[in-house]
Amino acid sequence: MAIDLNEAKKLAKLSRLEFTEDELKKFANEFEGILSQVKAIDKVDVSKIDLKESSAKILATKLREDIVQASFSQCQVIQNAPSKKDGAFLVPITVDEEGCK
């Protein structure tokens, strides 16, 4: 089972990653090997499996109260930002004066 180049391009877009055509071809080839391994799950009979069983336990976990409390300072929140200004994250313009870009 393989994926074609168009499918690889679609995946790259979903992943917000850029590749050269050659890199994508390499990925598509590697995918063939990986997906043939992954298809092993097809041989397991899951007709009697109810996924709700696995989520039940997580719901039994104690939830904390929704209380307003101190968190990071603004300074800490932006301390690792690659670009910042006046205590905010700086990004390219996404909305111009007419309301769209």
Among 5, 6, 25, 38, binds other proteins (CB under 8 A): 38
What is the C-alpha to C-alpha distance for residues 31 and 3, in angstroms, rounded to an integer?
Answer: 7
Give residues 57-86 in contact with other proteins (rule: CB under 8 A).
Answer: 58, 61-64, 72, 76-77, 79-83
Q: Distance (Å, rounded) from C-alpha 5 to C-alpha 20?
A: 11
Q: Among 41, 43, 2, which Cα is nearest to 24's?
A: 2
One-letter amino acid for residue 73 of the chain: S
d(CA 88, CA 41): 47
- The contact mask relative to other proteins for 17-36 (x = CB under 8 A, - = no) is xxx-------x--xx-xx--
Chain contacts with other proteins (rule: CB under 8 A): 3, 8, 10-12, 14-19, 27, 30-31, 33-34, 37-46, 49, 51, 53-54, 58, 61-64, 72, 76-77, 79-83, 89, 91-94, 101
